[in-house]
A and B are shown apart, each in its own frame.
Chain A
């Protein structure tokens, strides 16, 4: 908001005093709703020598602002007989190129798996959007929806901060959760970490009852309660899996954080991964297609074999 401090009306030379007054009133309304009395008091404070304005004059001034694009509610009982500035036309506007740029950058960065960065970007963009004219905000959101599959996480900052603390302490939580089939489920899990993947924030933890690592979308968590500190923390078993890659996958292979190369030759590479989540490794193995063979443990190899048979049968082809 612009302010020049107190000014004497005699010093207002070669300017439109009326326009000066209306700009002062606009700045007042930006700060707080104002009654006729507030407006006159503030004007006389700001402009020495300024006369008191009649109700009709103030009304004309408000109409001038409204014609320009300001939405100002009339004084009534519900607003304590004050003028309230609801919206104005001096908001920031983003060009189509600027909108597309922000969406493109968000899309590029969403593969970075850095959830804190994505949260900060969401917060920044939401703050900017709240300062856009409504039709620009709508346009941006429509464009974003057609390009990005990201799930909004900036509206869950409190929950995310809590979960981050709980993960650091490996707390056991009782979680109420809306699953993908829209049923509400509840369970206890010992939480481990947050991760950002495929445009959504996930909470990873170990469910002792089913003896499995679970991966929950944070935006679907309805409620979180801490389970008694005295209960024993459940920890998932770390499974060591070995698999072999051949073909193009072997030639272009580069180890992820949780993997190491056991053996490598011209045609293939044997990889060892230690994991708490067999589900994740199953997905990784399936993605390699025929280039991948699980070597051990036998139980996981059989799981993969059965999965491949199910996949083939879904094409109505028996193995």
Chain B
């Protein structure tokens, strides 16, 4: 920063105050700590001077709330200095997102959405805010399908979310349709995944040393154990080769990386770090003869056996 540049020091302090209040709310002491360390100020200012600067900002049209016990005696810039122009379509999308998020039944996501909405609302004009309110009324009852999609899982989702936060091991009782009996597994809970109409819980299984994904449709019960999770996020890779037109147009999925790319043969070797190898396998089978699983050996042999069994289906016809 060029400290030899001629500036108006008072105006600089007022504008700096505006910039700071745009970032978050402050009390006088916090403001003075910043002024003291600012290279263009290098001192603390009296309360009267800061009040004069706040008065300047208010006279310029900025709404700054008064410090009260409710806001911990902080000054808060109610509306941002510059408004963002969002189209009606974009404002409606914010409202639609609100309904989608509530239909996911995760408190964490609802809170994050609330923070995002609070942040962006400061940058919206009064007209935009009232347009959003109109869209909220229009969409009431319209977006029930979002709410219904995962409604049957909401209790389990909320329970699992708490377990993720508390970071203790859990025991999951489940039964797939082809299982004769219920099964129990121990997991260190990690996250919740959504796939169209299905919801999955993902966690680290310390017994087998791998991440696992379980469809909530088959979960009977989840209970917490009095053992802290050991934060083990080990995911062993599945390595496969893609060939031909599939290799050429391939877009990497999350948690995939290219190990090797051979322009001459037109192949790419990919490592995928997934918590459900069965789900990955379904996708890889879709690629037909353009895909070959290399590692782990057990999965490769599984694929070979699977294709062999599929062929046998036609031999018996």
- A residues sitting closer than 8 Å to B (CB atoms) are 1-4, 7, 12, 14-16, 18-24, 26, 30, 59-61, 63-69, 88-95, 97-98, 101-102, 104-105, 107-109, 111-113, 117, 120-121, 123-124, 127-128, 131, 146-149, 151, 179-182, 198-200, 217, 247-248, 251-252, 282-283, 286-287, 289-290, 292-293, 295, 301, 304-305, 307-315, 317, 319
- Does the CB pair A98–B116 fall under 8 Å? yes
- Does the CB pair A315–B304 fall under 8 Å? yes
- Does the CB pair B61–A3 fall under 8 Å? yes
Interface size class of B (residues with CB under 8 A): 35 or more
- Does the CB pair B89–A120 fall under 8 Å? yes
User: With contacts A19-B53, A124-B86 known, is A65 near B59, CB below 8 A?
Assistant: no
User: With contacts A16-B10, A16-B53, A283-B286 known, is A180 near B119, CB below 8 A?
Assistant: no
- Does the CB pair A293–B116 fall under 8 Å? no
Chain B 40-82 interface residues, beta-carbon cutoff 8 Å to A: 40, 52-53, 55-57, 59-62, 80-82
User: With contacts A88-B82, A105-B101 known, is A18 near B307, CB below 8 A?
Assistant: no
- Does the CB pair A63–B5 fall under 8 Å? yes
- Does the CB pair B195–A314 fall under 8 Å? no
CB distance from B33 to the nearest CB of A (A): 19
**Alpha-carbon distance between A71 and B252 when the two chains are bound, in angstroms:** 38
Chain B 250-267 interface residues, beta-carbon cutoff 8 Å to A: 251-254
The 9 closest A-B pairs by CB, nearest first: A180-B249, A2-B61, A251-B177, A290-B309, A19-B14, A310-B289, A15-B56, A101-B112, A19-B11
- Does the CB pair A64–B12 fall under 8 Å? yes
**For residue B22, which residues in chain A have a CB less than 8 angstroms away from its CB?**
90
Q: Is B97 an interface residue (CB 8 A)?
A: yes
Q: Is B90 an interface residue (CB 8 A)?
A: yes
Interface centre among B22, B309, B311 (most CB of A within 10 A): B311
**For residue B11, which residues in chain A have a CB less than 8 angstroms away from its CB?**
16, 18-19, 21-22, 61, 64
**Alpha-carbon distance between A26 and B81 when the two chains are bound, in angstroms:** 11
Q: Is B19 an interface residue (CB 8 A)?
A: yes
Q: Is B227 an interface residue (CB 8 A)?
A: no
Contact sample, A vs B, 24 pairs, CB 8 Å cutoff: A16-B11, A19-B10, A66-B5, A67-B7, A102-B116, A117-B93, A121-B93, A121-B97, A123-B89, A131-B123, A149-B254, A180-B249, A182-B248, A248-B177, A251-B176, A251-B178, A282-B288, A289-B281, A289-B310, A308-B311, A312-B307, A312-B311, A314-B289, A315-B307
- Does the CB pair A64–B94 fall under 8 Å? no
CB distance from B114 to the nearest CB of A (A): 10
User: With contacts A105-B101, A180-B249 known, is A15 near B55, CB below 8 A?
Assistant: yes
Given contact pairs A16-B52, A127-B87, A292-B313, enumerate 14 new A-B contacts (beta carbons under 8 Å).
A12-B59, A16-B14, A19-B13, A20-B59, A22-B8, A92-B84, A101-B115, A105-B109, A105-B113, A113-B196, A308-B311, A315-B304, A319-B308, A319-B311
